[in-house]
Structure 1
Amino acid sequence: MDGPAASHPKVVSFRRSSEPGRGSVDALNEQSPLLLPRNSVNEAGHPLLQVVSPIGSDDWQGDADAETKSTWYLFLLTLGGLGLQIGWSVETSNGSPYLLSLGLSKSMLALVWIAGPLSGTLVQPYVGMKSDNCRLRWGKRRPFILGGAAATILSLMILAWARELVEGFLGIFGADKESQGVKMCVILFAVLFVYVLDFAINVTGIRAFLVDCAPTHQQESANAWMIRTSGIGNILGYLAGNANLPKYLPWLGNSQFKVLCALASMIMALTVAISCVSIKERDPKWDDDPPQQDGLLSFFKSLFRSVRMLPDQIKRVCEVQFFAWIGWFPFLFYITTYIGEIYVEPFFAANPNMTDAEIDEKWEEATRIGTRALLVFAITTFAASIFLPFIIPPSFEAPELQAATPMTPATPMTPHSAAGSGYFSLKHESKRPSKTRLKRLEDKLQVLQISSLTLRRSWLLSHLMFAFLMAMTFFVRSTTTATILVGLIGVPWALTGWAPFALISSEISKRDAMRRGLIRPSTRDAALVAAGEDEASSQGADQAGVVLGIHNVAIAAPQVIATLVSSAIFRLLQKPRGSTGDDSVAWVLRFGGCCALVAAYLTRRVKEEKEDADLRGRRAS
């Protein structure tokens, strides 16, 4: 060979063909700008790029898609979660007291919060599938993130001003705002927008955005950053809820809930906009053509087929989540009411004949006490999200790029963005890039890692800890003790927001990288994944939107069970508003703790890359 072509390796692709009946091998062509062949050498015979396997499995192929993203990049990638979490924290911490103040009963309140499970079961899988099939140049996820955030903001503001909107509208027709009919209309309107709000929140696909833009070896880190930014959102939301906001910001509303919704909306708009503008998705036009769908019936058929074909690892995580979230749902929605009941109990005992206005005033104070406990909970969660990734070793490590000497003067360049697109450019460097201060600090903190404490084992321990703390409600008698208990629950909550998503995201990303030729398969099953010929890959049942949608069903559907059980417990045990001795919420929390024990048992079946690699190493030795 002579001329310039002699020093330029050919570039091939392992993408699946969109033509029917063709596998990935048939789709190979020399013009596809996706993959550098293995063992490329220059004229002197020196390797251009060598990648060392991080877990001893020879899986890593290596490219810019697998290069380590900066901490700043991961922060911007997950920043949108901060704003959305503030909106969620406002709904969970103040939604129940707000609806109760409108005249809704506890038993009916439990049925209202079925909105979340319904929206998660129906909306997110549909939106996930639609985003997987989206081919807009903006990307697959960003159009849905922006649309969902806008709808969430609008729903929050309408919900906060529900009473004024309904009373003003009916007042046009001469209706008395104190009449029972107007009050009932206010309740129905507010309940309607609770549903709209939950549906809108589920349209945003921040988690799928994260899976698409972070490399496989950083999925755990990215999900850790997601729980950190969400933790900051929780802290801000609960900190604001603990203050007397109408006193300081009267121009945003005359009630706590109105000001909270206004602040949450402004922060949500800012953070989601920054995240979507800063992070670029890879152009979806390079993906295969999406399958044709004929209406809603076709969607449900496709969804049920995808559930059956889920990869085993993802199925096991979903099974754990099913039982875990029967326990978490009561805690998230009723813990403020639980602490509030402890606070108002002595006041109701001292004055059993309080007026409705006096009861409302005491419950306003009780809600602030409950929100203060949730602030402690959010701080603990954030602290755990910072500390735990340093003591839990990563399942994947970044592939190390060895120095290549001497180098050829030029290499093929392919379209890619700094935001983690699916296309890479191979860069020749004479030496390894220098480490940043943050990277050096992380290297030093590796001495804190407990080698036997894998992410899966930590998740199992979190279920046991949650169950134990729920059992401790038998002994709680003061708001101080209750606040300490709620603060401790921040530790298992940090793992709940990190471990399952990290395990699923790593599996999705790894399978996608295999199909695109970025990771070399080391087993027969992995080879089928790489060829797109295993059951899940061939039917698109391992795409980020579909999988995270189904995972959300595993989170949302059991909440229906929790809601129905909670409603039954409330009907049996609740007492009239203003009465003493109402411990119905405590029994709902204890029921959730029992379900966490089942989740802990099922977590034992979840596999983990690090454990599998250690087992292979022991067998080999």
Structure 2
Amino acid sequence: MAAAYALTGQASIKGNSEMVRMVLLTFCTIGITFTWGIEMTYCTPYLLNLGLTKSNTSLVWVAGPLSGLIVQPIVGVVADESTSNWGRRRPLMMAGAVIVSACLLVLGFTREIVGAIVGDDGSDATRRLTVVLAVMSIYAVDFAINAIMSCARSLIVDTLPIEKQQAGAAWGSRMNAVGHMIGYGAGSIDLVRLLGPSLGDTQFKQLTVIAAMAILGTTSVTCWAVTERVLRPSSAGGALATKKLPDEGPLKVLHQIRSTLLTLPPRVQAICWAQFWSWIGWFPFLFYSTTWVGETYFRYDVPPGARTSGTDVLGDIGRIGSAALMIYSTVSFVGAFFLPMMVRSPADETYTHRPPRAMAGLLEGLDRMKPDLLTAWIGGHLMFAAAMFMAPLAKSFVSATILMCLCGIPWAIAMWAPTAFLGIEVNKLSGAQDPSSAALPLTSSRRNSNSGLPSSSSSSSSSGELSGIYFGILNIYTTLPQFIGTFISTIVFAVMEPGKSPELHDETKEAAAAEGKEVGGGTNAIAVCLFIGAMSMLVAARMTHKLRRL
């Protein structure tokens, strides 16, 4: 019989106020989202610049969903059973940050590394080796950053008591928006002109160096500020002890997920299917929208003579795309703060407000005018679909940017609504008496009047276990559509743009110019992928509407 283990010690966060403690606890999210933002903005045009075809590039982005599907459950099990003196989450977070930062540097300086090893002879073998090293670096970054994300989310759950979970999720969402804004803002600036060649001679190289420092720095701050409880062998059983049997671990987790998937309650299943269809639409938008905006600018706004010049086209397209994403992320950031004030959340249906008597009539009237969260979620689906149906018609940088920024509001709702609805369902399934305590990640709690952060809470332990299973299943329904999106984009790119990118690959660009062909003519293949995503979003709206009848 294996020994029982128990969590010992007391969890704590440095800081003299609740806001400071929340910021420190979620600070690592800034580095995570900054890195994701740089990858989404620059890696697609970077791979095209290396000579990879668009159809092959789309296959590279299997790394994201594959790492989320494989790494997060495995890392979760490893962390849960870790007996490190530093805690269960922080050692893996720091190890992941070191791997991410190293691989980012390899990614940014791939050509130089290959040139130093085999020589820069310009041969096909050298170019292929450069592409292989770049793709391997992207996969390593995605796998390692998913490990950080998994542990960072668990750290919030482990450290905060049950009554502070909602506030922790809200601050995590805010740090996410801040990270995106900083990342897209940095990408939209000409860093080579601003900083000189000290960090690299191209925009992409400098951003990979900055991202490497950001992921290391922000993760270090969170790990320094948080003290975890430690898992230790326990001679006594009890509620805090966990049996660690030889046949438990990943197989047990897989069995739990499988059995729960087969017995999902109807409302939970409806939420998951709405998430599934919506993410078929979100995947091409998140990974290709900046390249689409940049290519639209290159095709329609740049004079024909400038398209074959020796300028840093990769940097130009990246900066143009980042400028659009900066506006988009600002819209999302504003929405993340103010949408919860304009939408009646599910909690409002069970919580009776007691406004001042003099203002009761006005406030009750305004509250009745608010749409409920389900209506807002459906509206977000339809707003995204309407914008992306127009994507193939965008013929200028301005029109593409406007369409992209219109999706900022749906994205803010998409980051809020599924978690809110599933949180309420999990509370009901776990026998919670107050459904209004469900986590709403974009708004701070109105009930938490105490300013301190209790270090531990033993209440609702069964609820915590239940939420982990169901939110893990929601992550599966978020991840699987990304494989479908990759498959769709691969077919579209192979049919519409089967060769190497004429906008970004120098040899293809020069060959087209020599033959007198227009560089980048015809319908943009990425715009077609966005159009297909809009059709999927209509299905998501239909699935979301089913929740009213369940």
Per the normalisation by structure 1, the TM-score is 0.68
Change (3 A) 1:297 1:226: closer
- Return the match for 1:498 from 405, 411, 416: 416
Would the alpha carbon gap of residues 348 and 396 (structure 1) be closer, same or farther in structure 2, given more than 3 Å must change?
closer
Cα deviation, 1:490-529, whole Å, max 9, x if unaligned, reads 11111222222344456557877x6xxxx5599xxxxxx9
Deviation at 1:222, TM superposition (A): 3.3
Q: Which residue of 2 aligns with 1:110?
A: 58
Q: Which amino acid aligns with 2:489?
A: S
* Distance 1:596-1:463 versus aligned 2 partners, 3 A rule: same
2:123 aligned with 1:179: yes
Q: Distance in 1 between matches of 2:426 and 2:227?
A: 19
Corresponding position of 2:448: none
1:541 Cα deviation after fit: 6.6
2:287 to 324, 330, 333: 333
- 1:81 corresponds, among 23, 29, 32, to 29
Q: Equivalents in 2 of 1:237, 1:455: separation in Å?
A: 30
CA distance in 1, matches of 2:545, 2:51: 45
Q: Is the 8 A contact 2:280 2:536 kept in 1?
A: yes
User: Does 2:476 correspond to 1:553?
Assistant: yes
Q: What 5-or-longer segments of structure 1 have no aligned partner?
A: 1-17, 20-32, 34-68, 401-443, 523-528, 613-621
1:380 aligns with 2:380: no
- Look up the equivalent residue of 2:315 and give its one-letter code: E
Matching residue's letter, 2:332: T
Q: How do 1:91-490 residues align onto structure 2 when only pairs under 5 Å count?
A: 91-134=39-82, 136=84, 138-171=86-119, 176-204=120-148, 205=150, 206-216=152-162, 219-249=165-195, 250-282=197-229, 286-290=240-244, 292-293=246-247, 300-309=254-263, 314-346=268-300, 350-351=304-305, 355=308, 358=310, 361-393=312-344, 395-396=346-347, 452-490=370-408
Q: Aligned partners of 1:478, 1:449: CA distance in 2, in Å? A: 41
**Please, which moves more after superposition, 152-161 or 206-215?**
206-215
Give, as a single letter, the amino acid of the residue that structure 1 aligns with 2:473. I
Q: How many residues were matched structurally?
A: 477
SS at match of 2:312: helix
Cα distance in 2 for partners of 1:219, 1:463 equals: 27
Q: 2: distance between equivalents of 1:446 and 1:282? A: 45
Cα distance in 2 for partners of 1:208, 1:548 equals 12
Change in Cα spacing, 1:386 to 1:582, as seen in structure 2 (3 Å) is same
Residues 272 and 480 of structure 1, relative CA distance in 2, 3 Å threshold: same
Residues 119, 222 of structure 1: alpha-carbon distance in 2 compared, 3 angstrom cutoff = same
User: Which residue number in structure 2 is paired with residue 588 of structure 1?
Assistant: 529
Counterpart Cα distance in 2 of 1:200 and 1:153: 10
Moved more, 295-304 or 257-266: 295-304
Choose 77-86 or 386-395, whichever is displaced more.
Answer: 386-395
Deviates more, 1:189-198 or 1:87-96: 189-198
Q: What is the alpha-carbon distance in structure 2 between the residues aligned to residue 452 and residue 220 of structure 1?
A: 22
1: distance between equivalents of 2:247 and 2:129? Answer: 39
Q: 1:390 to 1:570 in 2, by over 3 A?
A: same
SS of the equivalent of 1:542 reads helix
Report % sequence identity: 34
CA separation of 1:263 and 1:461: change in aligned 2, threshold 3 A: same
TM-score (norm 2): 0.76
Aligned-pair distance for 1:276?
2.9
Q: Which residue of the partner structure matches residue 512 of structure 2?
A: none
Q: CA deviation at 1:566?
A: 0.6
Q: Could you report, residue by residue, the CA deviation over 1:362-408 in whole angstroms, capped at 9, with x for unpaired residues? A: 453232111110010111111111111222345559x99xxxxxxxx
Query: Any residues of structure 2 matched to 1:562-581 within 5 Å, and which?
Result: 562-574=485-497, 577=502, 578-581=519-522
Q: Partner of 2:466: helix, strand, or coil?
A: coil
Deviation of 1:145 (Å) = 2.7
**For each residue in 1:67-94, what CA deviation from the matched residue of structure 2 results, as whole angstroms up to 9, or x when unmatched?**
xx93443333322211100000000001
The Cα RMSD (Å) is 3.7
CA distance in 1, matches of 2:402, 2:367: 27
Tell me if the contact between 2:331 and 2:405 (Cα under 8 Å) persists in the aligned partners: yes
Higher mean displacement: 139-148 or 380-389: 139-148
Instruction: Decide whether aligned partners of structure 1 residues 393 and 107 sit closer, same or farther in structure 2, where only a CA change above 3 A counts.
Output: same
